[in-house]
Every structure is written in C-alpha cells, then in structure tokens.
Chains A and B, each alone.
Chain A
Amino acid sequence: DTAVSQTPKYLVTQMGNDKSIKCEQNLGHDTMYWYKQDSKKFLKIMFSYNNKELIINETVPNRFSPKSPDKAHLNLHINSLELGDSAVYFCASSQARGNTEAFFGQGTRLTVV
C-alpha cells in the first residue's frame, strides 16, 4: 500500500497549457508539502499545508496554486506552463510536530515543450 502517491508519474505538455498533479497520503499525517527538484537535483520547498491550511508559501510564481480538499490530499495546479517549469515535483507528508521525518512520493517528471 503506497504511503504517498502522486499522479501522473510523467507529464509532457506544451507551453501555455494548464496542468494538475495530484497527491494523496494514507499515513494519517497532518502536514503535506510540494517540493521542486531541478535539473541539478536541488530540492526546494514550494508549499506546505497543515490540516488544509497553507503554512509555507515560498517565492513561487502565482501560476502555481496548491489546493488541499482534505488533509490527505494536496494537489498542485500550474497555469500557463513555461519551459522553466520542467522539473521533478515531489509531494511529501509528515506529522505536524518537530521530531518527525517526511515521507516522499515517487515524483512527477514534468516536461514542458
């Protein structure tokens, strides 16, 4: 049973399109995240939600909009895709306390052409 699952695994789309990536966790965690991994493997947090409330919103273009319908789901919608959005996007979840680790999904490789 996959703990953190995200779909799709691969996404190839044209510039200007709008796309969504879905994430679900079955760990009962309160906090969920989106991370972006660039071509140099650098991981940077984009958003963090706790119990459906936005906690962290890093400097991310407004074209990126997270949505958390419930605490088990955190989706990422991207408008007007640009070439520079090509990356691997990881969803993660954790308990909402200090001494806990994050559990990661398998990633979504987004390629904008």
Chain B
Amino acid sequence: AQSVTQPDIHITVSEGASLELRCNYSYGATPYLFWYVQSPGQGLQLLLKYFSGDTLVQGIKGFEAEFKRSQSSFNLRKPSVHWSDAAEYFCAVAQGNYGQNFVFGPGTRLSVLP
C-alpha cells in the first residue's frame, strides 16, 4: 500500500525567508502527487499537482514542487514566505484509475515570524 511521509511536523520561518517542505512517498507505479494547504478552520485547497511530464511544477500563491523519482520525493518550495502562508500543509498521493484513493501525509504546520 502506498504511504506518504512528511518528516517535519512543525516548521517556523521568518517572513521573507525561503521555504522547503519535505514529502516522501511509497508507491510502486508512477504516482499522482499533490500538495494541499489548510488554513485554520478551513477545508483543503490544492496548491499544485504532478501527474507526468516536467518534474518541476508551479502552483498557486508562488509555490512550486519538484518530483524526484530517484528519491521518491515531492518537496514543496517557496522563495519568499508571506505571513499569510502560515497554515497546515499536506502532501498526498493518489492511486487507482477508478475510484481514487487520495492518501495524505501527516501534515507540516508552518509558522511565520514577522
């Protein structure tokens, strides 16, 4: 069964600093990979996704992620963090061609210092 790990439970960065959130997955076939963000009291919003092709994908709010098959990783990056980026970030992998099962990592909580 596939799984997703996010090694960092909580990360604190200063506003304006760069950010990288780590994600590793375990899945036999070519994975479909996602990053979602959850602000307090809100649902999950898709930041970006990778299905195939270019391994560097751009998302909303200035985020990007790079798929590295050799490392089974899909790390999320942002060059300059804004205070509004403080939230919970989830990496997910999807399996199946019919009746999808989106498997989520445990999440990384991002705090931003002024």
Contacts and interface: CB of A to CB of B under 8 A. Distances in A.
**Size category of the binding interface on chain A:** 20 to 34
B44 A99 contact: no
B23 to A, nearest CB: 14
Given A33-B102, A45-B101, A96-B98, A101 B46 contact: yes
Interface string B77-114: 00000000000101000101111111110110100000
A48 B107 CA distance: 22
B99 A99 contact: no
B107 A41 contact: yes
The B interface, classified by DSSP as helix, strand, loop or mixed, is strand
B99 A50 contact: yes
B46 A48 contact: no
Contacts of B107: 41-43
Interface centre among B34, B94, B103 (most CB of A within 10 A): B94
Contacts of A113: none
Contact of B43 (A33, A44, A50, A90): A90
30 contacts: A4-B43, A31-B99, A31-B100, A40-B106, A41-B38, A41-B106, A41-B107, A42-B106, A44-B104, A45-B103, A48-B101, A50-B98, A55-B98, A55-B99, A56-B101, A96-B98, A97-B97, A97-B98, A98-B51, A99-B32, A99-B51, A100-B94, A101-B34, A101-B46, A101-B49, A102-B46, A102-B100, A103-B46, A104-B36, A107-B42
